Amino acid sequence: MWQFYIITSTLIVLIVNVDSLNNDNICVQSNETSTCKGIRLMTDMPAAISESARIVYLQGAIDSLSFKTFPNRIFEDPSWRNVFTLTLSDFKFVTQIEQHAFAGLENLKSLSILRFVSLREINSNAFDTTPILKKLDLSFNPALSFSEVANAITEKVPHLDHLSLVGLNKQSIVPYVIGSTFKAALANKRLTYLDMSNANFASLDKEIIMNVFMNLRFLNLSFTIMAWMPAHLDGSMPELETLDLSYCLYAPRLDLENRNKKKSNKNKLGHNLSSLKYLYVNGLKQFDNFRSRNGITLEPGWLNPSLEYFELRESDIRVINVTILGRLDKFRKLDMSNGEFEFISPKFFSYFAPMKTLMLGGNRLGKMEHMMEFHELLSHLHQLEWLNLDDNELTFVPKRLFSSNREIKFLDLHANHLNNLKIDIMHLHNLKYLDLSENRLRTLPVEITAALDVVLAKQSSYFVVTSANNISSLKQIRSESHRSEIGRPVHLGDLPDILTVDITGNPLECSCDNLYFVEWISNTRVNLVNRSDLTCHFQEAELTLNKEGVSRLQYHCSKLAVIIVTSISVPVTLLIGLAIVCCLKRRCCRKQSRRPKLAKDSHATYEANIKYIRCDSKRDML
């Protein structure tokens, strides 16, 4: 202990002595915020802070040597009294925080101590002097244990309502079993926010849930291995709005197949979380015997009507074949990306029918593309605005798949195996972004290109034929389309103002048959992503689809047309001429009575001849 005092007092002496040292080189003051980075020694700590500072960041340097104890009374200068938010981070050699370390910060409401990778000890009197502290963040301190935290906050911070313990106790091999100390520490608080994600602890028992969590609005238990005790969850967190149970070792079992119909509803999450709005159950595994014995069932039929957002990403569930009665009236967004889904029944979506966003990218829905259910998959989603169906091994899209989704603004079909596209889109009046990139499309049918032009024309009033001389509107159009080099939108708010279509990464082919498509690419006012880089396969080479390339193709096709026309018409004219001459001659020689029969015969001959010549000319062309 005496060494400890010596070190401390030496440090204090150092602070006093080197007080005159200028800290301006590491501290930056802007408005109410003061940021000091690269603190190596205790002497780098600012002894005083600007009068106007309310929010202060103090960050340790990578080589913050000789800095093992966070000493007491370094914030005692009166200038610290006004600070209400203090963040200390990256003091990686500090192993303990002393008593009264925060003395002087009497108005502190929020304290964060982050990434102190060696921190093991927080003196039980450390928070004595911050009486109105509401928010405490002790995240990413892997050596710190729950009991240490419990000791420091028991009886000390009566107003605490926000506690983050992300990644706590990670250096311990044994998960911390939450016992009476931790329970007692939390029991006299009214926590509304608790993040224990990625922390190393086991067990979460009835008492905790019933008595400690009852005021929670936010609870994050993702990446933990705690054993969930579901039977005690019901009705015990009536205020809970956000619940994250992603990647939990003992995650709830999602009973999407209604296999447990007969069992009691007691073990079902969501049964009585009456305020739940945001639910995250990512990384959910379908088969896990261990879990099905201990775990709980998340059955959609029991999700609360307040639910707005549901994340079920990276699940290994393949089939959701379920009929759920009812509907979540406030639901907005369902994210089922990057899983293994092969079959989802349309009735499942009907339960989430008011949704605006549906993310199904990165699954295997191509496996159900020929089933009747796929045609109806989206038929209940009348308010859908955003749809991801990318990367699903789709080889085709049913013509009327989107017939009920008139509100669609964003439609992502990229990275599938589509080789043609026969879908109805004319009714998608609000479409702003259509992503068809990285498919196997050789062309777009004229129905699609025409529909896109119509949709665009309906959307933008100033595109409706302005006079060709109106320079200002032309300029506007051009600047709009140049703005297109944006990446793929990630939020509804990111959608471009003008209808944008991405057909990059397709093996486009040019021929005289799809000249309309090539001309459309160069003429359309629809904004094509990277239009100037688009190429197509033409005569064993890649033709760039710029004005020059298009005129080359047009020239080629018109030349071809001339050849065809001449190769057919010249011999035909000759023949007809010949026949007329012949006929005239015969007329002179024959009697009038024979004439009708002769005319019939010669007609037949002409036809045969013309057919023959046509075949020939085609062969010539080839």
Ligand X SMILES: *[C@@H]1O[C@H](CO)[C@@H](O)[C@H](O)[C@H]1NC(C)=O
Query: Which of the stretches 86-94, 235-243, 357-365, 555-563 binds ligand X when contact is defined by CB under 6 A?
Result: 235-243
| Residues 354-413 within binding reach of ligand X (CB under 6 A) | none
Q: Which of 151, 192, 337, 504 binds ligand X (CB under 6 A)?
A: 504
- CA distance linking residue 134 with residue 156, whole number of Å: 11
321 lines the binding site for ligand X (CB under 6 A): yes
Residue 492 and residue 432: Cα distance in Å, rounded?
Answer: 10
Closest to ligand X by CB, 470 vs 566, is 470
Which of the stretches 10-18, 375-383, 470-478, 506-514 binds ligand X when contact is defined by CB under 6 A?
A: 470-478
Which residue from 93, 343, 516, 606 is in contact with ligand X, where contact means CB under 6 A? 343
CB of 317 to ligand X, least distance (A): 12
Q: Are 241 and 278 in contact (CB under 8 A)?
A: yes
Is 118 a binding residue for ligand X by CB under 6 A? The answer is no
User: What is d(CA 424, CA 416) in angstroms, rounded to the nearest whole number?
Assistant: 18
Indicate the residue among 86 and 436 with the shorter CB distance to ligand X: 436
**b vs e for 282-318, b when ≥16 Cβ sit within 10 Å of the residue's Cβ?**
bbbbbebeebeeebbbbbbbbbbeebbbbbbbbbebe
In this complex, which beta carbon is closest to ligand X, that of residue 319 or of residue 450?
319
Q: Which stretch binds ligand X (CB under 6 A): 216-224, 357-365, 416-424, 562-570?
A: 216-224
Contact with ligand X (CB under 6 A) among 72, 96, 198, 267: 198
Instruction: Decide if residue 238 touches ligand X (CB under 6 A).
Output: yes
> How crowded is residue 230: how many other Cβ atoms within 10 Å of its Cβ?
20
Select from 123-131, 393-401, 465-473, 563-571 the region that touches ligand X (CB under 6 A): 465-473
Q: C-beta of 340: minimal distance to ligand X in Å?
A: 14
Binding-site member from 272, 404, 460, 484 for ligand X (CB under 6 A)? 272
Q: Supply the minimum distance, in Å, between the C-beta of residue 436 and ligand X.
A: 11
Say whether 14 sits in a helix, a strand or coil. helix
517-576 binders of ligand X (CB under 6 A)? 529-530, 533
CB of residue 59 vs ligand X: minimum separation in angstroms?
Answer: 18
Secondary structure (DSSP) of 229-274? -GGGTTTT-TT--EEE-TT-TTPPB--TT-TTTTS-GGGBTTTT-T
In the complex, what is the shortest distance from the CB of residue 263 to ligand X, in angstroms, rounded to a whole number?
A: 17
Query: How far is residue 550's CA from residue 560's CA, in Å, rounded to a whole number?
Result: 15
d(CA 32, CA 29): 8
**Phi-psi map region of 66: left, alpha, beta (phi>0 left; psi -120 to 50 alpha):** left
How far, in Å, CA of 359 to CA of 411, rounded? 10
Are 15 and 39 in contact by the 8 Å Cβ rule? The answer is no
Q: Which stretch binds ligand X (CB under 6 A): 112-120, 386-394, 469-477, 572-580?
A: 469-477
Cβ of residue 536: shortest distance to ligand X, in angstroms?
Answer: 15
- Considering only residues 421 through 460, tell me which ones interact with ligand X, judged by CB under 6 A: 437
What's phi and psi for 163, nearest 5 deg?
A: -130, 125
Largest CA distance in the chain: 144
3-state secondary structure of 194: strand
Judged by beta carbon, residue 156 or residue 531, the one nearer ligand X is 531
User: What residues are paired with 86 via a beta bridge?
Assistant: 56, 111
Choose the binding region for ligand X from 99-107, 218-226, 375-383, 493-501 (rule: CB under 6 A). Answer: 218-226
Closest contact distance (angstroms) between CB of 264 and ligand X is 12
**Chosen residue from 137, 161, 241, 244 binding ligand X by CB under 6 A:** 244
Q: Looking at 131, 158, 235, 507, which residue binds ligand X (CB under 6 A)?
A: 235
The answer to whether residue 199 forms part of the interface with ligand X (CB under 6 A) is: no
If one asks whether residue 222 binds ligand X (CB under 6 A), the answer comes out as: yes
Q: In terms of CB distance, is 26 or 194 closer to ligand X?
A: 194
Binder of ligand X out of 203, 275, 473, 546 (CB under 6 A)? 473
Give the number of residues in contact with ligand X, rule: CB under 6 A.
31
Q: Does 22 bind ligand X (CB under 6 A)?
A: no
Q: Which is nearer to ligand X, 186 or 279 (CB)?
A: 279
* Window of 171-179, 324-332, 347-355, 462-470 that interacts with ligand X by CB under 6 A: 462-470
Shortest distance (Å) from residue 490 CB to ligand X: 14
What is each CA distance from 34 to 23, 52, 58, 83, 161, in whole angstroms?
12, 9, 9, 10, 25
State the nearest-atom distance from the C-beta of 616 to ligand X, in Å.
46
> CB count, 10 Å around CB of 398?
18
Binding test (CB under 6 A) with ligand X, winner from 59, 69, 169, 220: 220
Structure token digits, residue 584: 């005239």
CA–CA separation, 116 and 133 (whole Å): 20
List own/partner pairs for 432-435 with CB under 8 A and 24 or more apart: 432/495, 432/496, 432/497, 432/498, 432/499, 432/500, 433/409, 433/488, 433/489, 433/495, 433/496, 433/499, 433/500, 433/501, 433/502, 434/499, 434/500, 434/501, 434/502, 435/390, 435/411, 435/488, 435/501, 435/502
Task: State the CB neighbour count (10 A cutoff) for residue 615.
Answer: 10
Contact between 466 and ligand X per CB under 6 A: yes
Residue 242 is a binding residue for ligand X (CB under 6 A): yes
In the 8-state DSSP scheme, what is residue 425?
-
Give the one residue of 9, 10, 25, 30 binding ligand X; rule: CB under 6 A: 30
Residues of this chain that bind ligand X (CB under 6 A): 30-31, 166, 197-198, 220, 222-223, 234-235, 238, 242, 244, 272, 274, 280, 319, 321, 343, 437, 462, 466-467, 470, 472-473, 502, 504, 529-530, 533
